Amino acid sequence: MPDATGTAVTSTPRALRYLVLQGVTWMAAALVAGAFAWMLADIIWQGAGRLDWSFVTTSPKSAGRSGGIAPILVSTLLILTVAIAVAAPLGLATAVLLSEFTRHGGHAGRWIGLSLDVLAGVPSIVFGIFGNAFFSVWLGLGFSILAGGLTLACMALPILIRIAESGLRAVPNDWRLGAAALGMSRATVLCQVLIPAATPALVAGLMLGIGRAMAETAALVFTSGYVDRMPSSLFDSGRAISVHIYDLTMNVAGGDRSAYASALVLIALLIIINGAAIGLADRALTRRITPI
């Protein structure tokens, strides 16, 4: 290699280069893993001390310093339910259109795909102020679980569509041709062949979307609000668990312990959801494949 980098690379003794590169990568990995382990240990250590059964079954007292997070868990669940109920059908339909009814690389598909990719890049706080202006003020939903859920649905839509689309595209073309040869209508093919075959990907996409939505704070502060009472309808304001952690950390002196316990609950829920996604996807996959 005649160029400058080439000579520099070949002139260093091999053993030394091996040691340096190995040392650097091990150090970088140790640094990242160390910081992460430190954080996890802190969350588990400080969270577990405060966490017990009554923490998840009682209401918060004195702004969350004591008491539990039951209403917050209910609000979180309701917000996620609204988000999924809106985003899942809309996302699935768009994914089907993209994978089955548009030419690959055609105009319509490209523009829809581009707008979704751009949407995926919009910062969450921008979703938050949009949700506030559109759902809370313009549509008159106010600070409510409905407004928060709809805002999260907008955020989760791109990832749902992209994963569902790639799952549908991964269904072998033979199946479509076989179904067409049998004279099945496209609607029947879709319901009887494509969607069942793509179930693992659809479920995985859904779970990933739920995970993203659950970790979200900035989009919810100005849409679903801060109220930490048990919600009695979807038009009530409800505090999501991530908003609760934020509020305890920033606005409540002495709320750190409860914040850590809530963080531990949140991370445990995220791990369960992602684990369930993987497990469900595996089961659906084996169920489809074994009879053949």
Q: Identify residues 107-136 at the interface with other proteins (CB under 8 A).
A: 108, 111-112, 115-119, 121-130, 132-134
> Which amino acid is located at 252 in the chain?
V
Asked if 10 interacts with other proteins (CB under 8 A), we say yes
Asked if 209 interacts with other proteins (CB under 8 A), we say no
Q: Which region, judged by CB under 8 A, interacts with other proteins, from 33-41, 74-82, 167-175, 229-237?
A: 33-41
Asked if 21 interacts with other proteins (CB under 8 A), we say yes
**Cα dihedral sign for 272, 93, 110, 213?**
negative
**Around Cβ 96, how many Cβ atoms within 10 Å?**
19
Q: Which of residues 214-243 bind other proteins (CB under 8 A)?
A: 214-218, 221-222, 242-243
Q: Which is nearer to other proteins, 41 or 287 (CB)?
A: 41
Asked if 138 interacts with other proteins (CB under 8 A), we say yes
CB of 202 to other proteins, least distance (A): 15
- Please identify which residue in the block is written with the tokens 């003794």: 13
Per DSSP, 32 falls in state H
Which of 228, 207, 260 minimizes the C-alpha distance to 80? Answer: 207
CB of 91 to other proteins, least distance (A): 7
Residues contacting other proteins: total by CB under 8 A? 87
User: Do the Cβ atoms of 199 and 74 come closer than 8 Å?
Assistant: no
Say whether 67 sits in a helix, a strand or coil.
strand
Q: Which region, judged by CB under 8 A, interacts with other proteins, from 54-62, 228-236, 248-256, 281-289?
A: 248-256
- Please identify which residue in the block is written with the tokens 């693992």: 200
Q: Which of residues 52-91 bind other proteins (CB under 8 A)?
A: 89-91
Asked if 31 interacts with other proteins (CB under 8 A), we say yes
Distance CA(45)–CA(37), nearest Å, equals 12
Q: In which element (H, E) is residue 60 found?
A: strand 60-61
Asked if 249 interacts with other proteins (CB under 8 A), we say yes
